[in-house]
Structures are given as structure tokens and as C-alpha cells.
Amino acid sequence: MIKLIKRASAEARAFRQAQRDGLELEIERAGQHVKATKGRARKNGAAREDLADDGIKNAREQGGRRPRFAPVTFSEEGGVRFLHFGTEWVQGAMRLRHPWRLELEYAQQMMAWLLFLDAPARIVQLGLGSAALTKFCYRQFPESRVEAVELNPAVVIAARSMFALPQDDARLRVIESDAWDFVNDAQQRESIGVMQIDLYDATARGPVLDSVAFYRACRDCLSSPGMLSVNLFGDHPSFERNLKHLRTAFEGRVIALPEVHEGNRVVLAFKGPALAFSEAQLAARARHLEDTTELPARNWLARLREVTDQAVDFAI
């Protein structure tokens, strides 16, 4: 199984150096401006000189003109291409010979909502990454409209140029927007059957949006029935906070699946009427999913039993 932690890249070191160089350049420019301004300040009083001194202070406090987003970088190993945000942390992966498959185990487990719901009319991904989940849903569910929300335009370009994401069409749409703005848009209310959330920054240690308000807004976007799947980090302090906030937003109807590789834990949240399945029904769904999608659905079912302690029937 592919590990999520990779070696530090030359691009990451270059990015950190660029940040330091940017700060030094900004301070140098501020200093040059101060010299010119102080000369004029002698004619106009001390107040101008104080304002000039603020140039250096602001440059130091703001850290120079740093890029808004971390750089999008890549690596390849063993026939797999990896996406990074300027660090050693993997943000997505694609096996070059099978670009439509889900390479990482946690990404496969993000699809565990299929044990409980058929593919809905609309599926939304928050955080595009390498577009693995977006591509999979687009190809696997021809009756579904698939959308991805991504703030960084460079990630969208990378997904299309390096990770085989098709151009938008009648069923596929990539929206360049902040996920917070998207879920708080009244037009999204009760219109999404399944929402998949994988919102990580360059350090990949916890979601960038994790408040009760955010998860409530996500719930409001879901139709009834509807489901949320979220990628969290089980061995990070953010996990318990996210789980608590999800339980509050979804009235306790939340299941945290056991940890997969490198600490990832997928959490499922449910909206709508209560769901109930017999052991036989879930087993039949799992077999069908394995036959039609090649996803390890029976493994999901086994992991589900570990955390729900419901050996015969399942209800939530």
C-alpha cells in the first residue's frame, strides 16, 4: 500500500527559500522607500518620518509578499504519480497505467457511502487534490452530475494536465471557489446527495475547515437522504475536535471508520430518515459493489462492524 509520507522534495526546499528571499526583498524595498521618504519628511514634520518607519515594520510583520497558495509539485515512484503542495506530504496519487482507479486506500474508503445509498443525482467533492474521487465518480456513475470545489487554480490545472481530469461537460464541473462560500450559498441547500470532503493544506495534518458552523452548512446542502464522507487524521489533535463537531452538526448520526494507512480515518455522516439494513442486505450490497466498481466493499463492511458493534443488523 502506498505510504502517504514521502521524502522531502527539492521543490519544497526551493519554496521555503523563495519565501525567505521574498521577505528580504520586501524589507530591502521598504528600507529604500524609507530613505527617500525621510528626506521629504524633514520638510513636512516628524509624522511623515513615523509613517515611513512603519514600512519596515509592516514588511516584517506580514512576512513579505508570500504566495497565496503553496506550490503544486509532483513526484513519481513505482508507476505512481503523486501530488504535493510543496512538502513531502502526499495530497493525491494516480497510477499511470490506470488513471481512473482509486490508488490510495483512504480514497477508496471515502466511497463507503455506497454501502448505504445508491449513486445520487448530484455528487460534490470539496477539495479537488489529484481529482481521483472526482474522476472515479464521473466515470462510474453516468447518471450523476459530479462537481468539485477547489480554491487554488493551480490545483485545477495540475489535475487536468497531470492527473487526467477531463474538461467540464454537461455532467462534470470544477468550481474555483472557497469551500466555505460554496456550502453557505443558499442555492446549494438540500441539492446534493453525497458530499466528499478532503480539505487539507500543505502540511496535510488537519482539515482547513472544521467548525460546527461549517459542518452544519454541509448538512444543509445535503438532500434527504444524504451522506457526507470526510477524510480526517486519526493521530492528530484535530481528529477529536472534528468528530465532536460532526456529531453536533449531524445530531450524532456519525460513524468513524478505523484508521487506514498513515493515520487517515474516514468519517461518514448521515442525513434524512433512519437507515436500517440486515446483515444479508449489507453483504449483498458489498458483493455487488466489488463486482461493479472493484472497490473493497467487503473490507469496508468488516471495518464497519469493528466500530459499530452491530454484528447482525445495522441501523443509524
pLDDT at 149 over 70: yes
pLDDT of residue 206: 63
What is the three-class DSSP state of 188? helix
Residues 192-209 have pLDDT tens digits of 999 999 997 656 556 789
pLDDT at 185 over 50: yes
Q: Provide the annotated active-site residues.
A: 198
Share of the chain above pLDDT 90, in %: 64
pLDDT of residue 300: 94
What is the Cα gyration radius of the chain? 23
The more confident residue out of 134 and 70 is: 134
The more confident residue out of 134 and 11 is: 134
Q: Which of 60-64, 120-124, 181-185, 261-265 has the lowest average pLDDT?
A: 60-64
Q: What gap in Å lies between CA 257 and CA 105, rounded to an integer?
A: 12
AA letter at 136: F
Average pLDDT, the chain: 82
pLDDT of residue 24: 45
pLDDT of residue 122: 98
- Which residue in the block uniquely carries the three cell numbers 511623515? 48
Q: What gap in Å lies between CA 287 and CA 139, rounded to an integer?
A: 20
Question: What is the per-residue DSSP string for 123-154?
Answer: EEEES-TTSHHHHHHHHH-TTSEEEEEES-HH
pLDDT at 306 over 90: no
Band (pLDDT 50/70/90 cuts) for residue 27 is very low
CATH of 100-315, one of 3.30.70.100, 3.40.50.2300, 2.60.40.10, 3.40.50.150: 3.40.50.150
Count CB-CB contacts under 10 A for residue 2. Answer: 16
Q: What gap in Å lies between CA 256 and CA 145, rounded to an integer?
A: 27
Share of the chain above pLDDT 70, in %: 75
* Domain boundaries defined on the chain: 10-62, 100-315
AA letter at 40: R
Q: What average pLDDT score do residues 75-89 get?
A: 93
What is the three-class DSSP state of 8? coil
Using a cut of 0.75, tell me whether the model's pTM lies above it: yes
CB 149 within 8 A of CB 126: yes
Band (pLDDT 50/70/90 cuts) for residue 66 is low
Residues 220-279 have pLDDT tens digits of 999 999 999 999 987 777 899 999 999 999 999 999 999 887 688 999 999 999 999 998
pLDDT of residue 7: 37
Q: Cell numbers of 89, please?
A: 506530504
Residues 34-58 have pLDDT tens digits of 444 444 444 444 444 443 444 434 4
- C-alpha 255: how far from chain center: 19
CB 115 within 8 A of CB 304: yes
